[in-house]
Amino acid sequence: MAEMGMSVAQYSTFGSIMTLGGMLGSLFNGKMADIIGRRYTMWVSALFFLVSWSTIAFAKVPWLLDLGRFVLGIAVGITVYVVPVYIAEITPEKTRGTFTLTHQFMITFGFSLAYAVGTIISWRALALLGDIPCLLHVVGIFFIPESPRWLAKLGKDKELEATLKYLRGNASADDVSQEALEIKEHTKLFESLSENRIQDLFQHKYADALIVVAGLMVLQEFGGTNAFSYYAASIFEMAGLSGTFGMVSIAIIQIPATITSVLLTDKLGRRPLLLISALGLFLSTFLLGLAFLLQELGKSGTIVALLACIGMLGLPIAFSLGMAGLPGVVMAEVFPINIKGTAGSLVTFLNWSSSWIVTYSFNFVMLWNSAGTFFIFTGIWILGILFIARFVPETKGRSLEELQTSITHIM
C-alpha cells in the first residue's frame, strides 16, 4: 500500500480501525441474533463483508481504506459471535467442539490462502477475490436450517422438531423427540427468568460463566497474538529476516496446527488444549523478547535470527492449537439462552476493545522497546496459564442444557 504514502500513524490507524468496527458490530450482534435469528444474522454479516471488500478494492485515498476496514470490522464483529453459537446449537454434544472449531479452521485456511495469493497478485485484486465467498454466503444461507434452540426460544415447537430430525439424519424418532423435549424444557426454564439486560448478567448465578468467557476473550487479545498477525511481516524484517518468507511460513504452518485442534477438542478436551496453547504462547513470546534483547545488546547473527524465527513461527502454531478458536467455542456453550445474546455482545465487545488497544499501541510500544514489548506479553501468558487452570471448566461431551444448568447452579 506504498502508493497511498501512509505515515506510521495512518498505518497504525489502518491496522487498528477494523477493531473499532468490530466493537460496533459486537454491540448489536447478540440482540440481532435473538431477534431475527442466527441464520439471517449471518446473512446480514455477509452483506457487510461484500461492501467492505469492494470499498477496499476501489479505494483511492487512505480514508476509504479505513472505511472499508471499519465496515469489515462490523462484519467480523457480528460473525465471531453468531457463527460459533449457530454451530454449537445445531450439533450433538459428542462432535460439538469439532464442528465449532471447523469454523476456526476455515478462517485459518482463508488467511493462509490470502497470505499465499497476496505474494503474487496486487492487494486490490486480493480484496476483490474476497467478494467471492461473500456472494456464495449470501445465496447459500437460504439452504441451511435455523438453530433449534432459537426456534424453541420463540415457541416454534413443530419447526424445532422438524429441524432436529433433519439435522440428526439417521437418529431414531424417539431420540429426536427426547432431545427436542430437553431443549424445550431447558429453554422454558431459563426464559422464565427473562434476564436479558446488561445489569442482569452480574448476578451470582451467571458469575462463573461470565468470568470464564470474559477472561478468555480479554486474554486472547492482550496476549498480543492478533497484533502479531497484523504486523508479522514488519516483525520478521526487524529481526533481520525476510518478511515474505515469514508470511508464507505462517500461512503454511498454522493450517496443520488448526487441524490438530479440530481433531483433539472432542477427545482431549477444551481445557487441556487451552493450557497447551497458552504455554506455547508464553514460550514463543519469551523467545521473541530474548531475540530482540540480544539484538539491542549488539548480538546480531544466526542465534538472534533463529530465536526470532522459532518465536514467530511458534506463535501461530500455539495460537491455532487453542486460543484462536476455543474461547468462541466456550462462549457458545456456557451462556444459557435467556442471557446468550446480551452476554455474547458484552464479551465480544470486551474482545474487540482489547484488540483495538493492543493493535493501535503495538507499533508505538515496539518503537519504545521491542524486547520489553514481548516480555510484557510473556508475563500476560503466565497469568493466562494460571487463569485457565483455575477457572475454565471442561465442557466436552456434555449437552448444552446440562452444561448451562450446571454452571449457573439453577438446578
pLDDT tens, position by position, 121-162: 998 999 999 999 999 999 999 999 999 999 999 999 999 999
Residue-level pLDDT at 224: 84
CA distances from 326 to 217, 264, 321, 331 (A): 10, 12, 9, 8
pTM of the model: 0.87
Angle at 401 between CA 396 and CA 403, to 5 degrees: 40
Of 54, 79, 81, whose CA–CA distance to 68 is shortest?
54
Of 209, 41, 71, 210, whose CA–CA distance to 141 is shortest?
41
**Residue 16 and residue 70 in contact, taking contact as beta carbons nearer than 8 Å:** no
- C-alpha dihedral sign at 51, 363, 255, 388: negative
Residue-level pLDDT at 363: 75
Considering only residues 222 and 228, tell me which one the structure prediction assigns the higher pLDDT.
Answer: 222
Q: What is the DSSP letter of 320?
A: I
**Same domain (yes/no): 76, 174:** no
**Same domain (yes/no): 101, 160:** no
**164 part of a folded domain:** yes
Tell me the mean pLDDT in the region 293-308. 82
Q: Which residue matches cell numbers 477427545?
A: 267
**Same domain (yes/no): 176, 220:** no
Q: What is the DSSP letter of 392?
A: P
Count of the separate structural domains present in the chain: 2
In the listed set 162, 192, 222, which residue is the last one of a domain according to the structure? 192
Q: What is the DSSP letter of 202?
A: G
**261 part of a folded domain:** yes
Each residue's pLDDT tens digit, 193-221? 766 677 778 888 888 999 999 999 999 99
**Same domain (yes/no): 267, 160:** no
Query: Residue 2 burial by CB count (10 A; 0-12/13-18/19+): exposed, middle or buried?
Result: exposed
Residue 16 sits at φ, ψ, to 5 deg, of: -100, -15
Ramachandran assignment for 120, one of left (phi > 0), alpha (psi -120 to 50 degrees), beta (any other): alpha
Residue-level pLDDT at 41: 98
Query: Residue 16 burial by CB count (10 A; 0-12/13-18/19+): exposed, middle or buried?
Result: buried
Each residue's pLDDT tens digit, 86-107? 999 999 989 999 999 999 899 8
Angle at 211 between CA 358 and CA 34, to 5 degrees: 90
Highest mean pLDDT among 24-28, 233-237, 311-315, 395-399: 24-28
**43 part of a folded domain:** yes
Considering only residues 168 and 236, tell me which one the structure prediction assigns the higher pLDDT.
Answer: 168
**339 part of a folded domain:** yes
Q: Coil, helix or strand for 201?
A: helix
**Same domain (yes/no): 12, 158:** no
Each residue's pLDDT tens digit, 248-275? 788 888 899 999 999 999 999 999 999 9
For the cut 80, the answer to whether the pLDDT of residue 243 exceeds it is no
Least confident of 43-57, 152-166, 347-361, 374-388: 347-361
**Same domain (yes/no): 68, 163:** no
Query: Residue 311 burial by CB count (10 A; 0-12/13-18/19+): exposed, middle or buried?
Result: buried
**Same domain (yes/no): 74, 169:** no
Considering only residues 226 and 361, tell me which one the structure prediction assigns the higher pLDDT.
Answer: 361
Domain of residue 159, residue span: 154-192
Q: What is the DSSP letter of 301?
A: S
**Same domain (yes/no): 166, 136:** no
**56 part of a folded domain:** yes
**279 part of a folded domain:** yes
Mean pLDDT of the chain: 88
**Same domain (yes/no): 186, 197:** no
Per DSSP, the residues of 40-81 read HHHHHHHHHHHHHHHHHHT--SHHHHHHHHHHHHHHHHHHHH
**38 part of a folded domain:** yes
Share of the chain above pLDDT 90, in %: 57
Residue-level pLDDT at 131: 94
Tell me the mean pLDDT in the region 187-196. 75
**Same domain (yes/no): 187, 203:** no
Q: What is the CATH number of the domain that holds 335?
A: 1.20.1250.20
**149 part of a folded domain:** no
**Same domain (yes/no): 269, 304:** yes
Q: What is the chain's length?
A: 411
**Same domain (yes/no): 186, 327:** no
